[in-house]
Amino acid sequence: MRRLFGVFAAALVFSLGAVAVIGRIGRDWEARVSVRGHSMEPTLDDGDWLLVNPAAFRRRAPRTGELVVARDPHDARRVLVKRVAAIGTDGSLTLAGDHPAHADDGSAIGAVAADLVIGQPWFRYWPTERIGKIA
């Protein structure tokens, strides 16, 4: 009986762990974006689909060099996938593309308030030949 209980407990713990992983992927699945344009090449390509971690900056602010997804300050229906180029003394972020010749970089967008940050892209799931964690 004790052994049966141990097997049952182990199966339950495994199942709860699997539910937690599936729950996280499900939550992140709802937070996804597609890349449009060439401004983030070579890191991200036009047509890439990304999962976004909406909790990435709940406990800390984005740092210079990190990728962020933020609402466009000029069009709230649009989101930007950019790199933090600089952080102002007021906490605002200057966002820039990795390929400035093709970017609406920080000079065109201007300072972005930190509260416009939605999260951090962490995983590319499309196209399949580029699937994987985003460095």
DSSP conformation letters of the chain: -HHHHHHHHHHHHHHHHHHHHHHHHHHHHHSEEE--SSTTTTTS-TT-EEEEETTTTSSS---TT-EEEEEETTEEEEEEEEEEEEE-TTS-EEEE-SSGGG---HHHH-EE-GGGEEEEEEEEEESGGG-EE--
Mean pLDDT of the chain: 80
Query: Residue 25 is encoded by which pair of tokens?
Result: 């992927």
Q: How far apart are CA 95 and CA 86, in angstroms?
A: 7
pLDDT digits (tens, 9 = 90+) for 24-79: 444 545 589 999 999 999 999 999 999 999 999 999 999 999 999 999 999 989 99
pTM score, whole prediction: 0.75
